[in-house]
C-alpha cells in the first residue's frame, strides 16, 4: 500500500499542476528519502520485531543505500522547499522531485 500512496501523490501533483496552471499556480511535490528523525526510531523498532534483527540494524542497512552514506537532515528538505518558494522555480510545475541522495539509482 505504501508504494501505491507514493504513486498517487505523483499523479495528484501532475493533475493539480495541469488544472491550476491557468491560474498561474504551480504544483510540485518533494519525495524525501531516509530522514534521520524520531520517525526512524519507530520504524527501526517495528523492523526489529518484524525481521528479528537487533535494534539499529534496519536504520544502518537503510543508510547503506544512500550515496553520501548519511541520512538526510531536516535541513536538506528545508533547503529544497526554500528554493521552491522563490521566483527561481516559477517555471517548474507538475514535478515530483526525489530528494534521496541517489537511493533510487543505487
Q: Catalytic residue positions?
A: 2
Tell me the residue ranges of DSSP E strands in the chain.
29-32, 96-99
DSSP state, residue 69: S
Residue in 28, 42, 4, 20 with CA at minimum distance from that of residue 80: 28
Question: CA 34, CA 13: separation in Å to the nearest integer?
Answer: 21
Residue in 37, 36, 60 with CA at minimum distance from that of residue 47: 60
Amino acid at each position: 500500500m505504501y508504494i501505491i500512496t507514493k504513486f498517487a501523490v505523483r499523479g495528484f501533483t501532475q493533475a493539480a499542476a495541469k488544472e491550476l496552471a491557468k491560474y498561474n499556480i504551480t504544483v510540485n511535490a518533494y519525495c524525501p528519502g531516509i530522514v534521520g528523525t524520531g520517525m526512524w526510531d519507530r520504524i527501526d523498532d517495528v523492523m526489529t520485531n518484524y525481521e528479528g534483527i537487533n535494534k539499529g540494524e534496519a536504520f544502518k542497512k537503510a543508510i547503506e543505500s544512500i550515496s553520501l552514506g548519511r541520512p538526510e537532515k531536516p535541513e536538506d528538505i528545508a533547503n529544497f522547499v526554500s528554493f521552491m518558494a522563490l521566483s527561481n522555480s516559477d517555471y517548474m510545475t507538475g514535478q515530483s522531485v526525489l530528494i534521496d541522495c541517489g537511493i533510487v539509482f543505487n
